Amino acid sequence: YDSTIINCTFVKPIIFSFCSTSGKVAVVDVSPCNTQPCQLHKGQSYSVNVTFNSGVESQTSKAVVHGIIAGVPVPFPIPIEDGCKSGIQCPIKKQQSYHYLNSLPVKSEYPAIKLVVEWELRDDNKQDLFCIRFPVQIVS
């Protein structure tokens, strides 16, 4: 019996809170992230996977991401804003479950601080399909 250990990475869901009552978010995965809050290393990119159930129908979806630093929301640019190109098959149907997949690039020039990431996905009417917040710590 060959008991070779298979190298496999388990993704642990992270702790998050809601900034909107829209949609139902079941799981948020940030990878790689082995700590709470996630430590994000400068110059690296992290994958984000939000499993949610939509409360509405929508043809489009657009992500809006902010870093909340000392209570002030600062735009946090992500490479692909279009949710329909981020693992979601549009049009979005009501009461359907989706995995929203995107990446969070951490630029080298970001300060090494703790902040809260606020991630919104907006529908045709600029209302939230979901809005979640999770704490992170940027490290060098």
Residues in contact with ligand NAG by CB under 6 A are: 27, 29, 49, 51, 99, 101
Nearest approach, Cβ of 13 to ligand NAG (angstroms)?
7
Nearer CB in complex with ligand NAG: 76/100: 100
Nearest approach, Cβ of 108 to ligand NAG (angstroms)?
26
In the bound state, the residue with its beta carbon closest to ligand NAG is 49
- Which is nearest to 104 in space by CA: 92, 89, 90, 118? 118
- Which is nearest to 80 in space by CA: 101, 58, 111? 101
Nearer CB in complex with ligand NAG: 51/127: 51
Nearest approach, Cβ of 7 to ligand NAG (angstroms)?
17
Nearest approach, Cβ of 86 to ligand NAG (angstroms)?
11
Whole-angstrom distance, CA of residue 68 vs CA of residue 90 = 29
Whole-angstrom distance, CA of residue 33 vs CA of residue 44 = 12
Nearer CB in complex with ligand NAG: 19/101: 101
Nearer CB in complex with ligand NAG: 23/115: 23
Nearer CB in complex with ligand NAG: 42/99: 99
Nearest approach, Cβ of 124 to ligand NAG (angstroms)?
24
